Amino acid sequence: MVVAPDPDQWAGPNSCSYYFAMSSFIKYVTFDCADPGPLSAFWSEVTGYQQVTVRDDFAALAAPDGRGIRGILFWKVPEPKSAKSRMHVDLASRDPEHEIERLVGLGACQVARHEGNGTSWTIMLDPEGNEFCIG
């Protein structure tokens, strides 16, 4: 039997109350890569996540707090990236233009800017060519 918490703690859109029984959550985002150490260092600088493990074949970053995604993992794979990823990371910033400059300074490449649906975003590549967006 599932007992719902106080509905006042679960306000949804338009102040409607609802309860979700969570079955899963995203614990890690994982990158296949050629060189886990440098790529994990790049993403550590981007996100503020701390490098907790760095080996030749694997690296791990841990979240600075207990909210959201707990870690980012990097596994060395023999094959190079060959096509556009069907999944990517979306970053948010209060000052996207400044953040884009910072990311380029860390080794990212700016690919394209887009606007639509009342928002704008920039597509970028990390040092190994993995797509990500910032808006």
* Contacting residues for 78 by C-beta, under 8 A, at least 6 apart: none
Quote the pLDDT of residue 21: 67
Residue that terminates a domain, selected from 55, 80, 105: 80
- Report the domain count for the chain: 2
Which CATH number goes with the domain that contains 72? 3.30.720.120
Q: Do 90 and 121 fall into the same domain?
A: yes
Band of pLDDT at residue 112, cut at 50, 70 and 90: very high
pLDDT digits (tens, 9 = 90+) for 91-105: 999 999 999 999 999
Quote the pLDDT of residue 59: 98
Mean pLDDT of the chain: 88
Residue 4 has pLDDT above 50, yes or no: no
